[in-house]
């Protein structure tokens, strides 16, 4: 029964017809339509999804956080229902869009919560506009340069279009085997093809291979209160990367979730939400 429940939660992440508790809104940023949802009131918390994600990636986190905070969740440019222009995407592109997105919504200061690529964007934004960030939460964040002998062909596996490729990716992203069944693999491929963000993913991948916007020196400049959340069994961005963030960001705190992969907010939402709320409350 437990496995079945987890499986259904997994489907809710990848299938685009997730039941919506919020009505999406739209705003123009640099002339491009950005879709977002918002809920709750209080200090603003912005949730930033990772590569290939959308606001629905935070489906199990919005309501719990919105009980005490004003939660804003965009489909970042090139993903979800936002516009997908054919440009050379890089992390600083997303920082510029987040900057203007906040100005359009008249958000002067916010806490940033970012998963994977979203954590990379959140870190870069915080370094660029420290006075506009209250606190920072990095969840299995990407952003450090790979070793010089790293085989960059691995990055192309982030945009799978075969069952075998999807199986390999899911095994890296999720710890729970319920996310690796044949049925879930098929559902995931269908959702990946329907997302229409393949160009965006490949463009970001090419930017990484070019060596653009890495955080190696930038992370050390972060001075805002920071919580680092990591799935111990993350096969995509290893725990060692989280420990490096924890070492580089002075005064940061780290919370590791056992039996969990790359997306704790989905695989272990209860523990993730509790940790974030505790941190935001200053406990």
Q: Using one digit for the tens of pLDDT, what is the confidence trace for 76-119?
A: 999 999 999 999 999 999 999 999 999 999 999 999 999 999 99
| Number of neighbouring beta carbons within 10 Å of residue 153 | 8
pLDDT value at residue 283 = 81
Contact (CB, 8 A) for 137 and 112: yes
Is residue 43, in this structure, part of any structural domain at all?
Answer: yes
Which residues have a Cβ under 8 Å from the Cβ of 260 and sit 6 or more positions away? 175, 231, 232, 233, 234, 267, 268, 271
Considering its fold, how many domains does the chain have in total? 1
Residue 60 lies in a domain: yes
| CATH at 95 | 3.40.50.1820
In this model, does residue 13 exceed pLDDT 90?
no
- Is the predicted pLDDT of residue 14 greater than 50, yes or no? no
SS (H, E, C) the chain: CHHHHHHHHHHHHHCCCCCCCCCCEEEEECCEEEEEEEECCCCEEEEECCCCCCHHHHCCCHHHHHCCCEEEEECCCCCCCCCCCCCCCCHHHHHHHHHHHHHHCCCCCEEEEEECHHHHHHHHHHHHCHHHEEEEEEECCCCCCCCCCCCHHHHHHHCCCCHHHHHHHHHHHCCCHHHHCHHHHHHHHHHHHHHCCHHHHHHHHHHHHHCCCCCCCCHHHCCCCEEEEEECCCCCCCHHHHHHHHHHCCCCEEEEECCCCCCHHHHCHHHHHHHHHHHHCCC
Q: Is residue 179 part of a domain?
A: no
Its domain, for residue 114, covers 24-146+193-260+269-280
The pLDDT score that the predictor gives to residue 42 is: 97
Q: Check residue 15 and give its pLDDT.
A: 37
**238 is a domain residue:** yes
- Whether residue 175 lies inside any domain: the answer is no
Q: Does residue 153 belong to any structural domain of this protein?
A: no
The per-residue pLDDT for range 238-266, each reduced to its tens digit, is 999 999 999 999 999 999 999 999 999 99
Question: Does 154 map to a domain?
Answer: no
Instruction: Tell me the average pLDDT across 149-176.
Output: 94
Mean pLDDT over the full length of the chain? 92
Tell whether 184 is covered by a domain.
Answer: no
Supply φ then ψ for residue 53, to 5 degrees: -95, -170
């Amino acid at each position: 029964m437990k496995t079945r429940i987890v499986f259904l939660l997994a489907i809710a992440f990848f299938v685009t017809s997730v039941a919506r508790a919020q009505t999406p809104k739209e705003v123009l940023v640099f002339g491009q339509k950005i879709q977002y949802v918002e809920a709750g009131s209080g200090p603003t918390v912005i949730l930033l999804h990772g590569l290939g994600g959308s606001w629905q990636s935070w489906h199990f986190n919005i309501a719990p956080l919105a009980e005490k905070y004003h939660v804003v969740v965009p489909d970042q440019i090139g993903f979800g229902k936002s516009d997908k222009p054919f440009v050379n995407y890089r992390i600083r592109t997303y920082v510029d869009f987040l900057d203007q997105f906040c100005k359009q919504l008249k958000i002067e200061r916010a806490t940033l919560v970012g998963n994977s690529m979203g954590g990379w964007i959140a870190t870069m934004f915080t370094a660029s506009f420290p006075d506009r960030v209250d606190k920072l939460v990095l969840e299995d964040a990407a952003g450090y340069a790979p070793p010089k002998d790293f085989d960059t062909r691995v990055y192309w596996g982030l945009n799978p279009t075969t069952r075998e490729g999807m199986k390999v990716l899911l095994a890296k992203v999720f710890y729970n085997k319920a996310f690796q069944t044949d049925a879930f693999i098929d559902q995931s491929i269908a959702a990946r093809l329907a997302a229409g963000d393949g160009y965006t993913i490949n463009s970001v991948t090419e930017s990484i291979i070019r060596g653009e916007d890495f955080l190696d020196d930038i992370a050390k400049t972060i001075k805002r209160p920071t919580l680092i959340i990591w799935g111990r069994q993350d096969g995509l961005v290893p725990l060692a990367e989280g420990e490096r963030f924890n070492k580089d960001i002075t005064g940061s705190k780290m919370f590791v979730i056992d039996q969990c992969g790359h997306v704790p907010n989905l695989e272990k939402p209860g523990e993730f939400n509790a940790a974030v709320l505790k941190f935001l409350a200053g406990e």
